Amino acid sequence: MFRLDGKTALVTGASGGIGSAIAKTLHAQGARVVLSGTREAVIRELAEELGEGAFYAAANLSEPSEAATLIAKAEEVAGAPLDILVNNAGLTRDTLALRMKDEDWNQVLNVDLAAPFRLCRAAFKGMLRRRAGRIINIASVIGTTGNAGQANYAAAKAGMVGMSKSLAQEAGSRGVTVNVVAPGFIVTPMTDALPEAQKEKLLASIPLARLGKPEDVASAVLYLASDEAQWVTGTTLHVNGGMVMA
Amino acid sequence: MSEIADKVKKIVVEHLGVEESKVTPEASFIDDLGADSLDTVELVMAFEEAFNVEIPEDAAEKITTVKDAIDYIEKQKAA
């Protein structure tokens, strides 16, 4: 179950905590994995650490042309057509709406929503022709709940859910699935730095009483990437310890 | 048959996996050759690539038969 032998996957944002855990998990299950990120040195090092069957392709996804060509680049370095696309890359530009500049809005919508669309569109071409493929878009619990100071990020992540449902309907007849994983609060240097009182309050809102680990997200991605999930499409898998039950 | 017509026919046969004899000029992609809407979009994209032409959305919608495709591409190539 859940083996990915012979499959080729691309993970964007692979230099981050969640992205690298996804890459490691897919690789451990037998997939060839192409790591993508803006920091070439970091993804190269991670690819070397994973060893055989791991590749890297740097890309700056805020550039539309780089997003459009990343799929072809990944297939070239891996030497195989793409079976699995994980749109994990994203950024935040948090500030209250009153202070949010168009630039903050546009940058987040561009990288967190338009770039994943461009990657889906490019991946679709081959996947639809081959009658197989898995796309997993990484959203956020914030797309469901909203969050003060994150109007741009919440819009992008909620948009990703609607986009994925539409793409799932377009590609279903070809056996290509499109799903979303929506992580809640995951342990990162940022959550580590929270004051103790705030940490306690956060934990009190999570029925499973701990923050998430990057591996919790990676396991959900693995399921949706596997053959076992072949009858699941257009859905959002919430990985948030029960904090929000959508 | 023109070179363009031959090439169009070949793309249709390859893409839809139908018998060559069924790909007559009058054949409708959807009604006669079993294509769905996604197939027709993929066909148009295959034509664009093969003939290095751009087929805008409103023109693509009017290409429903093999002949429509051949006529459109021949016109573009002649222009």
Residue A76 confidence class, pLDDT cut points 50, 70, 90: very high
Q: Contact at 8 Å (CB) between B72 and B64?
A: no
Residues of B in contact with A125 (CB under 8 A): 45
Output A189 or A217, whichever has higher pLDDT: A217
CB contact under 8 A, A128 and B38: yes
Determine whether the annotation assigns residue A157 to a binding site. Answer: yes
| Catalytic position from the list A55, A56, A124, A153 | A153
Burial of A98: CB neighbours in 10 Å, binned 0-12, 13-18, 19+: exposed
The answer to whether A153 is a known catalytic residue is yes
Residue A63 Cα, gap to closest chain B Cα (Å): 24
Return the pLDDT at A169.
98
State whether residue A210 sits within 8 Å of chain B by CB: no
Return the pLDDT at A191.
74
- Report the pLDDT averaged over residues A48-72: 96
CB contact under 8 A, A129 and B45: no
CATH class of A8-239: alpha beta
Residue A211 confidence class, pLDDT cut points 50, 70, 90: very high
State whether residue A128 sits within 8 Å of chain B by CB: yes
Amino acid making up residue A153: Y
Rounded to whole angstroms, the Cα distance separating A14 from A192 reads 21
Residue A233 confidence class, pLDDT cut points 50, 70, 90: very high
> What pTM does this model have?
0.93
Residues of B in contact with A170 (CB under 8 A): 38
Ramachandran angles phi, psi of A239, nearest 5°: -120, 85
pLDDT tens per residue, range A9-58: 999 999 999 999 999 999 999 999 999 999 999 999 999 999 999 999 99
Return the pLDDT at A68.
84
pLDDT tens per residue, range B13-44: 999 999 999 999 999 999 999 999 999 999 99
Ramachandran angles phi, psi of A195, nearest 5°: -65, 150
CATH class of B1-76: mainly alpha
Q: Residue A108, CB half-sphere, CA atoms under 13 Å: how many?
A: 23
Residue numbers of A between 170 and 189 with CB closer than 8 Å to B = 170, 173-174
| H-assigned helices in A29-79 | 40-50, 64-78
Measured N-to-C along each axis, helices B3-16 and B66-78 cross at an angle, to the nearest 10 degrees, of 140
CA nearest to B16 within chain A: A129
Q: Could you give the ipTM of this predicted complex?
A: 0.82
Domain locations along chain B: 1-76
Pairing of strands A133-138, A84-87: parallel
Q: Which has the minimum average pLDDT: A34-43, A152-161, A166-175, A191-200?
A: A191-200
Indicate whether B1 pLDDT > 70: no
Residues 6 or more apart in contact with residue A7 via CB below 8 angstroms: A30, A31, A32, A83, A84, A225
Residues of B in contact with A128 (CB under 8 A): 38, 42
Output A194 or A224, whichever has higher pLDDT: A224
- Report the pLDDT averaged over residues A105-120: 98
